[in-house]
Homo-oligomer: A and B are copies of this chain.
Amino acid sequence: MSSPTHSKKETPINPFVRVREDHATELAEDYLELIEDLIEQSGEARAVDIAAAMGVRQVTVTKAIGRLKRDGLVTAAPYRSIFLTDQGKQIAKRARARHHTVLGFLVALGVDPEVAEIDAEGIEHHLSPPTFIAMQKFIEQQPAVA
């Protein structure tokens, strides 16, 4: 047969549909990356610290963690800190690499690092592979900053 019935996920042609899909996975990616950062930095990820970093209330974190648990991305026991599953770690790793690249790209473009950090947090979820690759190439082609 030509053209397999199911490839991977049918990339939508409609830009607005794509944006909605991007947003559906956004919060998970940001949470997972943050949880890994907290474990790295302070030894564990507590809801209170996640809440402070995300700028939301703890109860909002609790509900989000519940969804991540449901989706098999974290493990969490009551009154205990939060851990990533293998799948969660994979997503966190990719999210971090992507974030790093977008940040580097914006800085290479001449944007102040503080502003770049803020904008990267939103932009990073809306990049097709070709756009991401173009950003990587741009960074490489940049002459090292003096």
Contact = CB atoms under 8 A, between A and B. Distances in A.
Interface of A: 12, 14-20, 22-23, 26, 30, 53-56, 106, 109-112, 115-123, 125-128, 130-131, 134-135, 137-138
For the residues of A in contact with B, the DSSP-based class is helix
A19 B105 CA distance: 19
A126 B120 CA distance: 8
Nearest to A122: B126
Contacts of A130: 111-112, 115
Contacts of A19: 26, 121-122
A121 B16 contact: yes
A109 B134 contact: yes
Contacts of A127: 119, 123
Nearest to A30: B16
Contacts of A117: 15
Contacts of A17: 55
A127 B14 CA distance: 22
Contact of A55 (B16, B106, B110, B120): B16
A119 B106 contact: no
Contacts of A111: 128, 130-131, 134
